[in-house]
Every structure is written in C-alpha cells, then in structure tokens.
C-alpha cells in the first residue's frame, strides 16, 4: 500500500454504462467511484537479506526489480493510473 506524498482532492463520480451480453440484448448499470486528480504515491520496500542469500539474489536482480517497479505499469490500461505516463514516461 502506498501513501500520497502530497495533499489530494478526492472526487466522487457517478456514471452509467450499458453492456450487451448477446446481440440485441442490453444491460444497464449505475456506477460510483472515487478518484483523485493528482497524487504522488510513495512506497517503501525492504529486501530480505536472509532470503536473498538462500535464493542467490544478485545486484543485477535488484536492478531488474527496481526497473520493473518503476516501468512495469506504463503499458497497463487502468483508470486507477489515469494519465501518469503523460508526466513521467
């Protein structure tokens, strides 16, 4: 779980959607969600030295982990990220 490093404004959004389950059929639903306009989310992590010894963790493995954490979500489609890549990618 991360925590925003800045003060955020929480937005409450209501909407509707229509989903067709088969040709000619339609189901409609209402949705409600909360989001924030902008948030810089900070995370903390620790590499377990004892487990690293048993798995032969290398510095290259750590570099790959950090790269995956930083760049791993760029291509994912998600409303939770909104336009993060517009600013940082």
Q: How confident is the model at residue 40 (pLDDT cuts 50, 70, 90)?
A: confident
pLDDT in tens, 7-34: 988 989 888 876 666 676 667 778 888 8
pLDDT in tens, 44-61: 888 999 999 999 999 999
Higher pLDDT, 77 or 45: 45
Is the torsion defined by CA of 8, 10, 16, 22 positive or negative? positive
Query: Could you tell me which of 12, 71, 5 has the C-alpha nearest to residue 38?
Result: 5
Higher pLDDT, 73 or 68: 68
């Amino acid at each position: 779980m991360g925590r925003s490093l800045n003060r955020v404004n929480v937005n409450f959004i209501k909407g509707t959607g229509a989903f067709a389950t088969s040709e000619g059929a339609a189901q409609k639903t209402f949705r409600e969600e909360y989001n924030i306009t902008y948030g810089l989310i900070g995370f903390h992590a620790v590499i377990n030295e004892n487990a690293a010894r048993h798995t032969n963790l290398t510095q290259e493995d750590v570099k790959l982990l950090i790269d995956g954490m930083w760049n791993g979500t760029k291509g994912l489609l998600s409303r939770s990220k909104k336009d993060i890549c517009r600013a940082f990618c």
